[in-house]
Amino acid sequence: MELTILGSGTGVPSLRRGAPGALLKVEGKTLLIDIGSGTLQKMLRCGVTYLDLDAIILTHLHPDHVSDLLAFFFACKYSLAPRTKELFVLGGKGFREYYETLRQLYGHWVKADTYRLHLQEAPHGKRTVAGIALTTFPLEHTRASIGLRIEEGEKVLAYSGDTDYCPQVVEMARGADLLVLECSFPDDRKVKGHLTPSLAGRIAREAGAKRLLLTHLYPPCDERDILAECRREFEGEVRVAEDMMCLEI
């Protein structure tokens, strides 16, 4: 497995950090996890276009995680290079309603005329998406929030999306070779529904994760030593995500 962080930031505009998005290559397939503003352009820097994706997985429906989804569907209509490859899009509770709202607003421009579109809601449990087996976990952020656990052979990736500390995120992270957790604010600026460095470290420690990557960083995180805060709880390898960072799992 290979994971590229396309956007390590949030909905707050930043020259350093783009909105959330991560590209995962696993078992010969290309999956996109979240599709915030600017994701489609960042994909091009990885040699991946709107024509190439096998699946899009949405951890929840807040604008900073889905704002390029509309642009993606619109790009698929490009008459000189229309998408023909089938596409799987997975989200939590309410995702189908969200897509139907887009159809009501934009009609033909988001309709899949030249390719097969498979929509799935997966709030909890094992699923197969584009031939890839994965497990989703309901997390503490919104009613539609999910985290992901993907296994390839003996390798495990766990990816949280936005969440607060909860038993499900620890279960999701159990023994992960790479655990990707949101880390929105430093320890002294805790916000409900989001993690801090120490909470992320606690989850990694309790889950027995091997490596931890902190992402979804609001600007105050770049003004503090969040690695030091995280290491109070977790003694394993921990890194801070940057846009276009690529990791092997």
Tens-place pLDDT, residues 204-249? 999 999 999 999 999 999 999 999 999 999 999 999 999 999 999 9
Task: Provide mean pLDDT across the span 60-89.
Answer: 97
DSSP three-state, residue 202 = helix
Chain segment 112-170, per-residue pLDDT in tens: 999 999 999 988 899 999 999 999 999 999 988 999 999 999 999 999 999 999 999 99
**What pLDDT score does 123 carry?**
82
Say which residue the tokens 């290979």 belong to. Answer: 2
DSSP element (H, E) containing 237:
strand 237-240
**What pLDDT score does 70 carry?**
97
**What pLDDT score does 66 carry?**
98
In CATH, the architecture of 2-248 is 4-Layer Sandwich (3.60)
Indicate yes or no: pTM above 0.85: yes
Instruction: Provide the token pair at 229.
Output: 């805060």
List the chain domain ranges. Answer: 2-248
What are 152's strand-pairing partners?
155
Given 64, 68, 162, 164, the catalytic residue: 64
Q: Is 54 a catalytic residue?
A: no
Distance CA(72)–CA(39), nearest Å, equals 9
**What pLDDT score does 132 carry?**
94
Say which residue the tokens 């929105």 belong to. Answer: 184
